[in-house]
Amino acid sequence: MKKLIIAALALLLVVAFSIPAMAADVDDNSASVTFGAGANYDMSNNVYIDYAQVSNQQVFGIGTVHSGGNRKFATSSETSVLFWVTCDKGTTLADVGDATFTTGAYTGAGWSPL
């Protein structure tokens, strides 16, 4: 399960860099995200995503959670590290932290590096 979440997050990061028009902020943690040019990506069952960006579309954060697990995963364009934090099983609220979070900001907010 952990590998599936990491693979989904890695795929989304690759897509984010390869599509010229970035997605709008995803605030509803739906199991689907639409990137530029109308490309819609559905998450696996019980996998939820959060995506945030600042006005400069090259600065973004992305997070994911599986409601059957007990960890949230997140990263941003400002770090090369994937972070995790413990959550309650059944959580459907993915958390990106902040689009501008650096490694120090994630660890300062209680996230652990993977």
Position 22 confidence tier, pLDDT thresholds 50, 70, 90 = very low
Q: Residue 108: which H helix or E strand, with range? A: helix 103-108
Please state the rounded mean pLDDT for residues 17-32. Answer: 47
CB count within 10 Å of CB 60 equals 23
Return all residues near 34 (Cβ < 8 A) that are at least 6 apart.
23, 24, 40, 41
Position 72 confidence tier, pLDDT thresholds 50, 70, 90 = very high
Q: What is the mean pLDDT of the chain?
A: 78
The rounded distance, in Å, linking the Cα atoms of 70 and 85 is: 8
The rounded distance, in Å, linking the Cα atoms of 27 and 72 is: 16
The rounded distance, in Å, linking the Cα atoms of 60 and 35 is: 13
Residue 81 has pLDDT above 80, yes or no: yes
**Residue 37, phi then psi, degrees to nearest 5:** 60, 20
Query: How many domains, the chain?
Result: 1
> Residue 42 has what pLDDT?
73
- The boundaries of the domain holding residue 28 are 2-113
Residue 88 has pLDDT above 90, yes or no: yes
Residue 105 has pLDDT above 80, yes or no: yes
Residue 13 has pLDDT above 70, yes or no: no
Q: What is the pTM of this model?
A: 0.67
Beta bridge mates, 85: 72
